[in-house]
């Protein structure tokens, strides 16, 4: 019998991190669980065996903590998904890319056996010539014009470098699609709050979704089974912008790409919109993830399809609105 895992989670007070800590503390009471984040959370601190405020860029502090707690599995969730007002791209790069290098180096120095890293389907990039369904063997072409997409590509390049140079550090790399849950709030869900769902004329813009509890269970299984490999993480199927609008009960307005690009190039400098003209690619050419390897090789079939995840998100959203 292998000893129970000793797990450290970065980004433990984030959307997925909090749920992962709760899942593991509820269902794996024998595991030793250390949670870290720059943001405090009394709830996470109570559920974990230890909570430390820690910046992933502080490599020496992280290495010391890994050694002190004899950590064998590191789950790296710390990332900037929606940057707060005033956070520039350089800071996002420091946290996402430099922070990941510090995490990897600290893990190697401390003798960690496994790292579970969540990147994103955004690492494939938003391109007109993307395959209809992207598999794990397709090239990673995260767009330089999108900080999040470009940084996820660079993080994947770092992970590939460490797989070659430090093979003793087993890697499980997960590339989720858009994560939805009862309390999800991100760049994509912001689109659903508009009075009218705007699309790009001539583009179906299909979305793939993964339910938050599915992602949590995939991470937990990966740790428990000490898995390695690279897997797209998405529910079956996809929904186009027009289908999303219909489910929301809102009008769908497909506009020419040139018109949207021009409008955003005017509105963003005036402070009337947070998105610039590069957003046209973000909506037009969605990376649609093939999940066959997740099901066939990893052995996990998501509980919710993309359609069911969206419907569950809508039901939770409507319940919150009724309470309010």
Q: Which three-class secondary structure state does DSSP give residue 36?
A: strand
pLDDT given for residue 54 in this prediction: 97
Give the integer Cα–Cα distance in Å for 76 and 116.
6
pLDDT tens digits along 36-49: 999 999 999 999 99
Give the integer Cα–Cα distance in Å for 64 and 206.
45
Q: Residue 258 falls within a domain, yes or no?
A: no
Q: Residue 163 falls within a domain, yes or no?
A: yes
Q: Please report, for the domain that includes residue 104, its CATH number.
A: 3.40.50.720
pLDDT band at 3 (very low <50, low <70, confident <90, very high): confident
Closest of 172, 301, 186 to residue 235, by C-alpha = 301
Mean of the pLDDT values across residues 82-103?
93
pLDDT given for residue 71 in this prediction: 98
pLDDT given for residue 105 in this prediction: 98
DSSP of 109-135, one letter per residue? HTT--EEEEE--GGGG---TT--SSB-
Give the integer Cα–Cα distance in Å for 240 and 43.
37
Q: Residue 318 falls within a domain, yes or no?
A: no
pLDDT tens digits along 226-256: 999 999 999 999 999 999 999 999 999 999 9
Residue 23 contacts residue 216 (beta carbons within 8 Å) = yes
Q: Residue 198 falls within a domain, yes or no?
A: no
pLDDT given for residue 279 in this prediction: 77
pLDDT given for residue 260 in this prediction: 82
Residue 141 contacts residue 270 (beta carbons within 8 Å) = no
Give the integer Cα–Cα distance in Å for 90 and 105.
21
Q: Residue 248 falls within a domain, yes or no?
A: no
Domain count, the chain: 1
pLDDT given for residue 317 in this prediction: 86
Q: Residue 86 falls within a domain, yes or no?
A: yes
pLDDT given for residue 203 in this prediction: 92
Q: Residue 145 falls within a domain, yes or no?
A: yes
Least confident of 25-39, 62-76, 151-165, 193-207: 193-207
pLDDT given for residue 268 in this prediction: 65
Can you give the pTM of this predicted structure?
0.94
Domain span at 27? 4-181+206-237+287-303
pLDDT given for residue 275 in this prediction: 65
The CA-based angle 47-67-162, given to 5 degrees, is: 100
Q: Rounded mean pLDDT of the chain?
A: 93
pLDDT given for residue 191 in this prediction: 85
pLDDT band at 188 (very low <50, low <70, confident <90, very high): confident
pLDDT tens digits along 127-143: 999 999 999 999 999 99
Give the integer Cα–Cα distance in Å for 97 and 157.
10
Q: Residue 272 falls within a domain, yes or no?
A: no
pLDDT given for residue 148 in this prediction: 93
């Amino acid at each position: 019998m292998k000893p129970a895992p000793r797990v450290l989670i970065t980004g433990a007070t984030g959307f997925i991190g909090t749920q992962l800590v709760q899942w593991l503390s509820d269902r794996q009471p024998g595991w030793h669980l250390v949670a870290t984040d720059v943001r405090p959370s009394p709830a996470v601190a109570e559920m974990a065996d230890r909570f430390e405020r820690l910046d992933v860029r502080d490599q020496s502090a992280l290495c010391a903590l890994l050694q002190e707690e004899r950590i064998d599995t590191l789950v790296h969730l710390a990332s900037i998904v929606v940057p707060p007002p005033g956070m520039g791209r350089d800071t996002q790069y420091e946290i996402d890319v430099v922070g990941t290098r510090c995490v990897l180096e600290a893990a190697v120095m401390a003798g960690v056996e496994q790292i579970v890293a969540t990147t994103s389907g955004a690492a494939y990039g938003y391109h007109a010539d993307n395959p209809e369904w992207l598999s794990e063997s397709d090239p990673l072409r995260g767009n330089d014009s999108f900080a999040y997409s470009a940084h996820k590509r660079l993080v994947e390049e770092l992970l590939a470098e460490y797989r070659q140079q430090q093979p003793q550090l087993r890697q499980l790399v997960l590339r989720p699609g858009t994560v939805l849950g009862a309390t999800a709030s991100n760049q994509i869900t912001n689109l659903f709050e508009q009075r009218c769902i705007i699309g790009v004329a001539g583009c179906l813009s299909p979305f793939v979704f993964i339910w938050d509890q599915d992602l949590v269970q995939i991470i937990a299984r990966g740790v428990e089974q000490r898995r390695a490999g690279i897997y797209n993480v998405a529910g079956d199927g996809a929904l186009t912008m027009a289908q999303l609008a219909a489910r929301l009960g809102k009008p769908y307005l497909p506009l020419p790409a040139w018109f949207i690009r021009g409008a955003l190039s005017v509105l963003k400098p005036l402070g009337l919109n947070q998105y610039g003209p590069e957003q046209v690619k973000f909506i037009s050419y969605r990376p649609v993830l093939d999940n066959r390897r997740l099901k066939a090789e990893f052995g996990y079939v998501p509980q919710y399809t993309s359609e069911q995840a969206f419907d569950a998100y809508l039901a939770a959203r409507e319940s919150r609105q009724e309470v309010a």
